[in-house]
Amino acid sequence: MQANIRHQVSPYLVFFIIYNSQVGVGILSFQRTIAAKAGYDAWIGVLVAGCLVQAFIWVMYKLLGKTNGDIIDVHTTIFGNGLGKFLSFFIMIYYWLASISVLIGFIEIIQVWMFPTMPSWILSTIILLSVYYCVSGGFRVIVGMSFLSFIFPQILLIVLFIFPLKIAHFSNLLPIMSHSFMDLADSIKSSMYSIAGTEALLMYYPFIRDPKASKKFAHLGVLFTTILYTISAIVSFTFYSENQLKTTLWPELSLTKTVTLSFLERFEYLYISMYLIIISVLIALFLWCSSRGLKRIFNRKQKYTLLLLCLLSIILCQFNGSFKDMLNKYIIQMNLWIFYGYIPILLLVLTFLKRGKQNDE
């Protein structure tokens, strides 16, 4: 089902959507998790993960190009209406859980760094209110916000890497490839989750004006984020000694403690506050995907599905600690199995099905 042309966006904007969907709270803390086993070789893992995501993009474009609709259309063509919608439901739940994981991660950062006593529900409410406002403006507004959040603050935050680079110890990265393949595989696995997010394409594909032309921008977007993540990993690795990194929960935020300007002593408070914009847009994108999917599955207005999801999110954000770890664990598993296992299989099935049909004719 192709969306109304008035709601569609230009192909080049896919670059920004992809960038936006991949950059979230993960980039503030992934340096530590990927280095857990692979040590300072882990940046190679990020690059490899980036290549895998490129392949995944290719798979998604192939799959969606065949039905020219979103994942629900793919499911219904293969499995029929009932089962197709049932399977799509799980993917919508994944989108929703992913948005909650981002939200909880950000709330935790704010509580640790800025306001230790601020109740979670206030934060989740204000963020979700702005998210609701954004999503209710339609897909174009979300894309616009992706674009604007790239201009400000993302570009500014990239420029900040200059400060830690002044005292970087590049020799930290030596010797390259001193870890076993299994360790590297572990770093690939953990960076896979950090740079996950491209799967939102499965929902917004019909909203791209010229999907074929947008493909190259999607690949460019992934390339950009891969480089961003790799640079971020390398900057952290050269800034911290290995054991120090292992004790640091948010390496990227601690990095910005070294940013000092003559009128501003510390930057991380600004950094976190600016990150609110990036986070909100990411959540908006995922909640848009989820609520639109649910709207199509249950034939309800998107307004109601979105409201429901927001309310449930606020409730779930009240659970801290172990819930967060559990959620993250499940999402990592879901992400890996659904998108890197299930979707390629789906592509194979669809290809055979179409070929079968052609043969019948």
Partner 1 sequence: MMNRSAFCLILILLLLLSGCSFLPTNIVNEIDMAQGVGYDLAEKKNIKGTIVFPIFKKDKTSTTEVRTAIGKSSKEIRSILNNETRYTLVSGQVRVALYGKKMAKKGINDFVDTLHRDPAIGSLVQMAIVDGDSNELFKMKKYKNENVSIHIQELLEQNMKMGLLPQTNLQSFLFQFFQIGQDPYLPLIKKEKDNIRITGMAIFKDDQYVTSISMEDLFIFKALVDINRTGLRQFILEKHDNVVLDTLGSKVKYKVKIVQGRPEFTINLKMKTRLHEFAPSEKQRQSFDKKKYQKQVEQELEKSAINIINQFKKHQVDPLGLGAKYKEHYRGFNEKQWNMYYPNVKVVVNADIEILQTGTVD
Partner 2 sequence: MKLKNGDKEYGAGSNQNWLERLSKSNDFVHEHTSLRDDEPFWISYYRTLVSSDILHKDVLPYLQEKLPLEELKSRIPVQEIIFTRDADEIIQNILNGSLAIQKHQYDDECLLINIANSKFRDVGMATMESSTLGPQVGFIEELDTNINLVRKRLPVPELLVKEMKVGELSKTRVAVLYMDGIADPENVNTVIQRIKDIQYDHIQDSSYIASMIEDNSNSLFPQSISTERADRVAAGLTEGKIIIASDGSPNLVILPVTLMESFIAMEDYSYSWIISNFFRLLRFAAMFISTMITPMYVAIMTYHYELIPARLLETLVGSRAAVPFAPFLEALFLELMIEMVKEAGIRLPLKIGQSLGVVGGIVIGQAVVEAGLTSNVLLILVGLGSLASYTSPVYKFSNTIRFIKFPVIFLAQWFGLLGVFLAFLITQIHLLRLTSLGRPYLSQYPIRNTSFQDLWVRLPFSMQKENPKTLRPQKKWKSTGTGKKTGPANDFYE
Q: Closest distance between partner 2 and the C-beta of residue 134, in Å?
A: 5
Nearer to partner 2 (CB atom), residue 87 or residue 145? 145
CB-based burial label for 284 (10 Å; 0-12, 13-18, 19+)? buried
Query: DSSP string spanning 216-265?
Result: HHHHHHHHHHHHHHHHHHHHHHHHS-HHHHHH-S-HHHHHGGG--BTTBS
CB-based burial label for 178 (10 Å; 0-12, 13-18, 19+)? exposed
Binding mask 136-175 for partner 2 (x = CB under 8 A): -x--xx--xx-xx--x------------------------
190's CB contacts (< 8 A; 6+ apart) are 30, 33, 34, 36, 45
Number of chain positions touching partner 1 (CB under 8 A): 30
The CA distance from 175 to 152, in Å, is: 37
144 binds, among partner 2, partner 1, none (CB under 5 to 8 A by kind): partner 2
Q: Closest distance between partner 1 and the C-beta of residue 219, in Å?
A: 35
Direct distance between the N- and C-terminal alpha carbons of the chain, in angstroms, rounded to an integer: 24
Structure-token match 């950059």, residue found: 23
Among 93, 173, 277, 307, binds partner 2 (CB under 8 A): 277
Q: Closest distance between partner 1 and the C-beta of residue 180, in Å?
A: 11
Among 178, 318, 320, 351, binds partner 1 (CB under 8 A): 178
Binding mask 233-262 for partner 2 (x = CB under 8 A): ---------------------------x-x
178 three-class SS: coil
Contact 150, 19 (CB under 8 A): yes
Among 10, 180, 244, 351, binds partner 2 (CB under 8 A): 10
Question: Hey, which residues between 143 and 172 contact partner 1 (CB under 8 A)?
Answer: 167, 169, 171-172
Asked whether position 265 contacts partner 2 by CB under 8 A, the answer is yes
Binding mask 115-144 for partner 1 (x = CB under 8 A): x-xxx--x---x--x---------------
Q: Closest distance between partner 2 and the C-beta of residue 144, in Å?
A: 4
Give me the phi and psi of 9, to 5 degrees please: -120, 160
The CA distance from 93 to 90, in Å, is: 5
The CA distance from 178 to 131, in Å, is: 44
143's CB contacts (< 8 A; 6+ apart) are 9, 13, 16, 17
Cα 133 to chain centroid distance, Å, stands at 20
Asked whether position 257 contacts partner 1 by CB under 8 A, the answer is yes
Q: Closest distance between partner 2 and the C-beta of residue 283, in Å?
A: 11
Cβ count near 327 (within 10 Å) = 18
Q: Closest distance between partner 2 and the C-beta of residue 319, in Å?
A: 22
* The pair of three-digit structure tokens given for residue 93, joined into one six-digit string: 């739940």
The CA distance from 27 to 302, in Å, is: 31
Strand partners, 221: none
Question: Hey, which residues between 274 and 333 contact partner 1 (CB under 8 A)?
Answer: none
Nearer to partner 2 (CB atom), residue 148 or residue 231? 148
Contact 302, 139 (CB under 8 A): no
Asked whether position 260 contacts partner 1 by CB under 8 A, the answer is yes
Q: Closest distance between partner 1 and the C-beta of residue 163, in Å?
A: 10
Query: Which residues contact partner 2 by CB under 8 A?
Result: 9-10, 13, 110, 114-115, 126, 130, 133-134, 137, 140-141, 144-145, 147-148, 151, 260, 262-266, 269-270, 272-274, 276-277, 280
Interface residue list for partner 1 (CB under 8 A): 112-113, 115, 117-119, 122, 126, 129, 167, 169, 171-172, 174-175, 178, 239-244, 247, 254, 257-258, 260, 265-266, 268
